[in-house]
Amino acid sequence: MVNLRTMLESLKGFLKPSTVPYPYKEIPPAEGYRGKPLYDRDKCIGCGACSQVCPAKAITVVDQGSTRVLRVWHGHCAFCGRCEDTCPWEAIKLSREYVIVTYNKEEAEDKLELELAACASCGSYFTTSRQLAKIVELVEESINKRGASLEEYRKLISLCPPCRSRPEALKEAFKFMLKMG
Ligand code: SF4
Ligand code: SF4
């Protein structure tokens, strides 16, 4: 039998609901909530380190012609944050977005396309243009300090790994190293 106290509690529920009105109203997540990982479109250089450490295999890196396509599949993500911890450039972060239910496949991922660089010798695509630019940016100061040529260095790194290991390329790399001391 329903007692008076229970009836009063039920009536109070009409005036002030005990549950939240989600999904009709968005609920702000708690501080530090780990939601969808998203790329920073300006910072990512397409190195793929985040995909190597993802335990859920939620990040894919695929080269298609002259483009590298990076994807984070939110439906596969375990929201562990390893991608964010690993990225050296703070280019992927767990956002506070938590709604991953969608009828649209494109909304279930964060996709980023980056231009690939072609080898100056054989023409095969081997890394992103951004990654090459980042390498130059990192060593520029020490190359200038030692009076070596940045252009020469650019030429050396514009070769793909197989072309870099050819005798004539190795000779050029060795000469450059000598200049760098
Ligand atoms: S998000 Fe970071 S680790 Fe992942 S590909 Fe971009 S730069 Fe590399
Ligand atoms: S948060 Fe974890 S599971 Fe999700 S994409 Fe990053 S590394 Fe993978």
Q: Where are the beta strands (DSSP E) in 74-132?
A: 92-94, 109-118, 125-128
- 70 ligand 2 Cβ < 6 A: no
pLDDT in tens, 102-152: 999 889 999 999 999 999 999 999 999 999 999 999 999 999 999 899 999
- 83 ligand 2 Cβ < 6 A: yes
Atom of ligand 1 nearest to the CA of 40: 1
Q: What angle do CA 76, 32, 48 make, to 5 degrees?
A: 45
Question: At a CB cut-off of 8 Å and minimum separation 6, what does 91 contact?
Answer: 39, 40, 43, 44, 45
Residue whose CA lies nearest to ligand 1 atom number 6: 44
Supply the pTM of this predicted model. 0.86
8 A C-beta contact, residue 82 and residue 73: no
23 pLDDT band (50/70/90 cuts)?
Answer: confident
Give the CA count within 13 Å in the CB-facing half-sphere of 29. 12
Domains within the chain, CATH numbers bracketed: 30-116 (3.30.70.3270), 119-181 (no CATH)
